[in-house]
Structure 1
Amino acid sequence: MGSDQGTPTTAEEAPRDAGASRERFPHAGELELPAELDGWEEMYPEYFQFELTDDRTDYERGRFWFWDKKDTTEPVMPWDMTISAQAWQIAMAQNTSRVFAIPPSMSVDIRVVAGYVYFTGINVDDEELLQERAQIFAERSEYYYENYDALYNGTWLPAVKEIGNEIDSLEVPEKLPEYVPEDVITEGKGQSQSTLDVIRNYNRLTELALEGWQRHFEFLYLAYLAYMQFTETSRELFPDISDDAIGKMVSAVEADVFRPDQELNGLAELAVDLGDDVTDVLTSDASPETKMERLRETDAGREFIDRFDEIKDPWFYMTYGDGFHSYKGSWIEDLEAPFDHLESKVGRLQDGEELGRDFEALQDERDEIVEEYRRYLDAEEREEFDHAYETCMTVYEYAENHQFWIENWLHTIVFRKMREFGRLLVNHGLLEDAEDVFLFNRFEVAELLEEACETWALGRGAFVSERWQDRAAERRRTFEAAKEWDPSPALGEPPEEVTDPLMQMLWGITTEKVNDWLDVESDTGDESHLEGFGASSGRVEGPARVIEDSADIDTLEEGEVLVAPLTNPAWAPVFPRAEGAVTDDGGITSHAAIVCREYGLPAVTGTGHATSFIETGDQIRLDGETGEVEILEKTE
């Protein structure tokens, strides 16, 4: 595949629905990629590439694929595919197909085009198989729901922490020694353990990363399915109930994903209590490193630093992106974001504002809404409602907690350890930059490390090839070109109707959304009016602030409406500045939807292309109940 495979087909060129024929998106082989992307295929494992064989092409062209913008808004580095596709594919697919046997959802298949990840859902249509799976699912899910607290706190969280701590403890030398230690001889250790350790520890790292993703999906679909069951129960009992009302009934959740913001609030409050010696430093224009040095000069500053050091592990293990891109970095490695947030929070406190959520008020509102709806039910209906609600509230926190512990905390540790292997390869002359290790897939990195061990074993002066450095430079150019490319939102023939509830809830993909994509591809859409999910109630007008990269979130100013492809946990500290939020992607259980409900902000998610039509400074109106967004006035 590549730019030379087939004539590009656009939605406009394909026939519009006239019964059997429908307008469609291009197939993967019909995509016209820029010349700069020629050869991208060698960067990624074959299994994840489209149209390798004729029978595979028939399978792929018979399915509808959508770009997973919820998790991978940018192309994925070759090594990062280890967690964003390879580990994900196994863990996600087996969870639905082999572990819990979720009746209608067999699994999700994954492909990649120039680093962009596409999904397709594989559903179950056979009635006999549906019944078989329904029985298995009922038995297994019931056990998890009834024992969730013990399984989560007693098994899941300790296991995840153990995985991260073991990865952190893996020893990676900066450089293999000139000569092995004397105890290799005196203790009969059988030659050098150094080379064995390098290979063994890299293999262990990848094994643990895969194991972490087994844990990632352990409760995830059960949490979403509990929400879906509560939603279905609510709609059966109250046909006119809104998505927002359902969302509010499961708000005020004490999830770990909110802790980084809560800890920053506590630090800002401590700073104000400690006085000018701390607040003057935090609100200055200095770099984080300079601020830390200045804080250590005073007793108050040292007290602040002590508290800062206590909470940064684990709560500053927040990635600057969505957790799937090594090059985005993390707060713990680059303190720019937490110090920017502290500066803003200190300023708000000094202006007399309060920080954070009014959690008690949110709980009161939630409980009041729940009780209001319960009043309309008879005893039997109330029992059905209560069971669905209690199950949902028991496990729903996991939908957010897994993002912090796996996609932020664990991934930060994984990427940090990979950089240690990168530095080893630099010190042995195979790479020029430690970051280049991510330009090779996990099998190639194993080969790189083995070659480093082999050249070391040959002794000082052994020949070291520059081919890896040359390949890294070429791949860097290809990857940067991929970041500039705008992929198709979908591939292939869209379904007559999108019925998969997980696709709707998680990715915000509905029949209307797909048709909207087709309209945009054909240049027939209304660029002043957008529709998505009414994810958090309220109606607001204001100037838009379009933010497409998490590195720019601090540009959001008070009173602006945040417009983004999607949001992730690292964005939480800026939400109090916003009047509301609009996202391209995500459904009613997306991060933006959940956080906006927690902060009482109007939100519309899953608009498809708000960031394409809206510009910073545009005056916009959004309705968090109807899901409508209007551009009232374009900026000059």
Structure 2
Amino acid sequence: MTFNYIMPIDAKDVSLEMVGGKGKSLARMASAGMPVPEGFYLTTAAYKDFVEKNDLQKTIINLAKPEIIGRTLSFESAAKRIQELIKEAEMLNEIENQVRQAYGLLDGQDPPVAVRSSANAEDLPDLSFAGQQDTYLNVRGDEALIKAIRDCWASLWTPRAISYRHQMGIEQDVVAMAVVVQIMVPSDVSGILFTANPVNGERSEFIINSSFGLGEAVVGGQVTPDTYVVDRKTKNVKERIIGPKAQKIVYRGNQGTELQDVSEKERNKSSLSEELLKELSSTALEVENLFNGVPQDIEWAISDEKLWMLQSRPITNLPPQPIEVIWEPTPPARILARRQIVENIPDPCSPLFDELYLTEGLESPAKGQKRKSFFVGAGPMFVTVNGYAYQRFDFPQVVDIQNEIDKAETEEEKEKVISRIWQQWDDLYAKMRDKSDSAMEQHDLELFLSELSSEDLKAFNEWAKETDFKDLAHDVTMPNSRNPTYTAFNKTQTNENQIKGWKEKAMPDLLATVEEWQKFDYKTALDEELLRGIIELATAGGRYWSSNASHTFGVAKSTDDQLQAFLRETLPDHNFISGHFLSGFKSKTLEANEDMYKIAKLIQADNELFELMVTTPPKQMMNALQNHPNSGPVVKAIEEYLEIYGHLGYSLDFVEPLPIEDPSGLLISLKTMITAKDYNPNKHQIDAAGKREQAMQKIEPLLDGLQYWQFRYRHWFTHRFYFIREEVMFYLTSGWPTLRLLARELGMRLVDIGSINIPDDVFYLDTEELTRAINARKENSAIKEYKQLTAERRELREARKRLHPPGTIPEIASNNPGVAFKETQVKNDPNSDILKGIPVSPGTVTSPASLIKSPAEFEKMQPDSILVCPMTNPAWTPLFAHATGLVTDMGGILGHGSIVAREYGIPAVVGTGTSTQRTKHGQTIKVDGDAGTVELILDE
């Protein structure tokens, strides 16, 4: 009989399209002589002919679309109907006959077989289809085998499988199913082996999970198996954890399997001997070598001391190889903190950004100026350690303090030094605060009074008549405090002059440079001109920040800090924070969200567009919109939105794509808006404003006399300058769209000549290296070693992303008074379930956590959950529509997340340092935005 649907298990020259991912890897192992159970493949041709002859394809594709239930997607109904079609359709005689014939050729009478699905889209790089299609064990006899094959075909259309393909952008009309049929291995022990540690990426370790019985108990998570960590080179066990192995899967008579309890005595035994562990590890290494050294996820079984390989696939989402690092600055830098502009650079810096922005750009205002360095040892203000950006705190006073702390030999002595220095600083700040500038303070008081209502002004004047203060203006405008925050930006004229410099000099200078290069014809430009544009735009961005914008930003931050300090010192028992009184005001960020909401309403008004947005994967959404006949106004509105806000990226580092290039993040946010029940940003603002009024009503009876008017003044003063934070930050990356255009053009040219692999590799070279590549291109040659160099640097950056940079370097510097009051990451006890942070938006909430570590995970955001993330910037704002609270690793009182949380009226605690490490997605946590704590609740 001719087998046009059947291939032997050790077939050579098989393809993914013929036998699917599982089948292809099995064929490779079997043909190489690996211990693979006997069997055969029913190829995808059988599935395709079955579908074609029963005229099912068109119906299946029409059905394989999500159904909108409420405002969420469901594939349940589609899956049920498709599976019914497949199970009811007539099996082709030719397929059935060939299966019977192939089965009859296996050893034994009606031998028990495993029937496994093998789709042509599974086990591809970066995709994981594990567990999405079905496997049938201990199948005996022709009829049972034919039924199992039909069930495998039907499992191509489970809700989970359809949903995953939809989410990953895999067209439903290209998928097909092969079936693997193999003699069952009556396993005594079975499990999984990873040829690299799937948790931390360590390539020197094998991880083995094993248990008694058939392997599905381990694969399906039905038992807690034994775990062995094995050294790749020596094959010796580095760590051994004996799991309870309470149950095992065994044969159930002549058909199927069942779960059986394991005896107490057997549970405590190691499921694998030293000899079997070494044999298993050695065989696994052979398998990995067979697949060109790609780390493998291997299913195996042992029966009567014989080892069998059942399946092998690449480990999906394997982390980069971990790296060992030391958190030490490069001299002359000594004391560092993750603060200021660094708060906008959550990831390791790309080499080009490190050079052009962090070093050259931020230092550019000081270039050519003859002035004494701020720092002991001179050098730049910003540096990187293991790729992460830090601000230096090597000011003479801070270094002197650190020297004293370092000299202390015991913890008790260190505490005494720190306590004494705090007292000295308190005295110093008190003297600075008490320096009265009568004219400016009188000006500020009069300005404040001029903006009071007539009723409030009358109340103030009546109170003032009753007082006998020698300097009323000073006492009202400058609270009696030793907090250092009152020493800067404490006068309206000072602050307004700072803002004026930003409006009239810093911002126009930056925009002029951006506009100049926007007009530039980069397509016809010389390579050198492209590089010059990249340098000038990056430098202009850095100059904008360090010449003025950082200080203008500091106006808003300092005034907010001053209100916070006043509340904490005046009413220490009431947990008031500045966020109580700054909620519900307009801001640049809220304007962007309102503009996005206008687009959402356009979509909601058209049922077809609504359905398209809800049912289309983000990466395909823009293209789908552009091709829809009704979408003209929506597409135009999105383009206009991106023209205004598309430069607001997810990181300050220009290595990251911007929304104007890849709007999928924006489209996810739009989808979130249109599917959110009763979402309206204006309602959030109204609710937040209502909470602000409630806080005002609560605090006013607690204050009288001078303290009451000090609060009223401080609130007025803070609100007066609150707006400037978002204005300053809005322009921070305004040059990046043009810079990335120039870089991409240069990158494509260097790809064409053979110097780099992809255009974005330009960000992994410095300007000297780029100049060398440009000069080589003039000679029609390439710097070929740059391909490996950029690949290594890219891989290093990815590995560094898994590091957790300390808030200060050295960590003991967090106790230094010169650093502590500026820190944006609180040091927490790793063993405590209570994380401390900075309280920035009031209220208390207990909800599940949505752990979102990057924009790539935006779709994980769940309604009515607490957003837990490294930090936020304007690109994250739409997630707040679903959030009941906010927790971040890094941040301060005037960070983006703080402002938006206040606008939305949700509790927020920032700067916890380790929240993204300590919290699991979906875990219940409690956020107290008044006390500044996050409680990690162990879910039962």
Q: Secondary structure at the match of 1:406?
A: coil
Shift of 1:280: 2.6
Match of 2:740 among 392, 396, 415: 415
Change (3 A) 1:316 1:258: farther
Q: Secondary structure at the match of 1:630?
A: strand
Match of 1:173 among 520, 523, 548: 523
Q: Where do 1:477-626 residues align within 5 Å?
A: 477-488=795-806, 490-492=808-810, 494-495=812-813, 497-500=815-818, 504=821, 507-509=823-825, 513-514=826-827, 516=828, 519-520=829-830, 525-526=831-832, 528-626=833-931
CA distance in 2, matches of 1:227, 1:580: 21
CA distance in 2, matches of 1:619, 1:200: 51
Q: Which residue of 2 aligns with 1:315?
A: 645
Shift of 1:539: 2.0
Q: Name structure 2 gaps, 5 residues minimum.
A: 1-319, 401-424, 441-486
Change (3 A) 1:90 1:282: same
Q: Where do 1:169-208 residues align within 5 Å?
A: 169-173=519-523, 194=526, 197-198=529-530, 200-208=532-540
Match of 2:615 among 276, 279, 284: 284
Q: Which residue of 2 aligns with 1:345?
A: 673
Q: Which residue of 2 aligns with 1:146?
A: 496
Q: Could you tell me the TM-score, scaled by structure 2's length?
A: 0.50
8 Å contact kept, 2:927–2:933: yes
8 Å contact kept, 2:840–2:910: yes
Change (3 A) 1:479 1:533: closer
Q: Which residue of 1 aligns with 2:418?
A: none
Change (3 A) 1:195 1:221: same
Q: Where do 1:78-89 residues align within 5 Å?
A: 78-82=351-355, 85-87=358-360, 89=362
CA distance in 2, matches of 1:282, 1:367: 38
Q: Does 1:336 align with 2:641?
A: no
Match of 1:251 among 580, 583, 604: 583
8 Å contact kept, 2:360–2:539: no
Q: Which residue of 2 aligns with 1:164?
A: 514
Q: Secondary structure at the match of 1:333?
A: coil
Q: Where do 1:349-498 residues align within 5 Å?
A: 351-366=677-692, 369-370=695-696, 373=699, 384-407=710-733, 409-452=734-777, 454-455=778-779, 462-488=780-806, 490-492=808-810, 494-495=812-813, 497-498=815-816
Shift of 1:268: 0.9
8 Å contact kept, 1:230–1:389: yes
CA distance in 2, matches of 1:405, 1:346: 29
Shift of 1:80: 1.5
8 Å contact kept, 1:163–1:212: no
Change (3 A) 1:323 1:416: farther
Match of 1:326 among 650, 655, 658: 655
8 Å contact kept, 1:508–1:586: yes
Give, as a single letter, the amino acid of the residue that structure 2 aligns with 1:307: A
Give, as a single letter, the amino acid of the residue that structure 2 aligns with 1:441: D
Change (3 A) 1:540 1:37: closer
CA distance in 2, matches of 1:277, 1:383: 57
Range with bigger deviation, 538-547 or 388-397: 388-397
Give, as a single letter, the amino acid of the residue that structure 2 aligns with 1:304: V
Match of 1:221 among 544, 549, 554: 554
Match of 2:347 among 59, 74, 87: 74
Q: Deviations over 1:36-75 (max 9, x none)?
A: 869x99xxxxxx99445xxx4xx62xx4655897333321
Change (3 A) 1:396 1:92: farther
Q: Could you tell me the TM-score, scaled by structure 1's length?
A: 0.72
8 Å contact kept, 2:866–2:885: yes
8 Å contact kept, 2:499–2:552: no
Q: Deviations over 1:257-313 (max 9, x none)?
A: 33332211111112223x224323222325123322233x13xx2122232222221
8 Å contact kept, 1:582–1:605: yes
Q: Secondary structure at the match of 1:477?
A: helix
Shift of 1:238: 4.1
Aligned CA-pair RMSD: 4.1
8 Å contact kept, 2:362–2:542: no
- Larger Rg: 1 or 2? 2
Q: Secondary structure at the match of 1:622?
A: strand
Shift of 1:382: 5.5
8 Å contact kept, 2:582–2:719: yes
8 Å contact kept, 2:888–2:910: yes
Change (3 A) 1:203 1:547: closer
CA distance in 1, matches of 2:329, 2:678: 57
Q: Which residue of 2 aligns with 1:180?
A: none
Change (3 A) 1:411 1:469: same
Q: Which residue of 1 aligns with 2:274?
A: none
Q: Secondary structure at the match of 2:343?
A: coil
8 Å contact kept, 1:83–1:209: no
Give, as a single letter, the amino acid of the residue that structure 2 aligns with 1:467: E
CA distance in 2, matches of 1:496, 1:487: 13
Q: Which residue of 2 aligns with 1:110?
A: 382
Q: Secondary structure at the match of 1:422?
A: helix
Change (3 A) 1:36 1:439: farther
Q: Secondary structure at the match of 1:344?
A: helix
Change (3 A) 1:310 1:448: same
CA distance in 2, matches of 1:201, 1:620: 48
Change (3 A) 1:140 1:497: closer
Q: Which residue of 2 aligns with 1:5?
A: none
CA distance in 2, matches of 1:291, 1:630: 43
Shift of 1:492: 2.5
Q: Secondary structure at the match of 2:893?
A: coil
Identity of aligned residues (%): 21
Range with bigger deviation, 216-225 or 544-553: 216-225
Shift of 1:139: 9.7
CA distance in 2, matches of 1:360, 1:533: 25
User: Which structure is higher in RCO with an 8 Å CA cutoff and minimum separation 6?
Assistant: 1
Q: Deviations over 1:222-250 (max 9, x none)?
A: 22122223333444554545353x22222
Shift of 1:108: 8.6
Q: Which residue of 2 aligns with 1:303?
A: 633
Range with bigger deviation, 156-165 or 559-568: 156-165
Q: Secondary structure at the match of 1:326?
A: coil
8 Å contact kept, 1:173–1:424: no
Give, as a single letter, the amino acid of the residue that structure 1 aligns with 2:789: R
Q: Secondary structure at the match of 1:80?
A: helix
Shift of 1:558: 0.9
8 Å contact kept, 2:357–2:541: no
Q: Deviations over 1:459-481 (max 9, x none)?
A: xxx44342333322332333333
Q: Deviations over 1:78-103 (max 9, x none)?
A: 01214652156527999xx999x9xx
Q: Secondary structure at the match of 2:627?
A: helix
Number of equivalent positions: 533
Q: Which residue of 1 aligns with 2:544?
A: 212
Change (3 A) 1:540 1:73: same
CA distance in 1, matches of 2:907, 2:705: 34
CA distance in 2, matches of 1:256, 1:87: 29
8 Å contact kept, 2:687–2:905: no
Which structure's residues are more often helix, by fraction? 1
Give, as a single letter, the amino acid of the residue that structure 2 aligns with 1:449: I
CA distance in 1, matches of 2:802, 2:684: 42
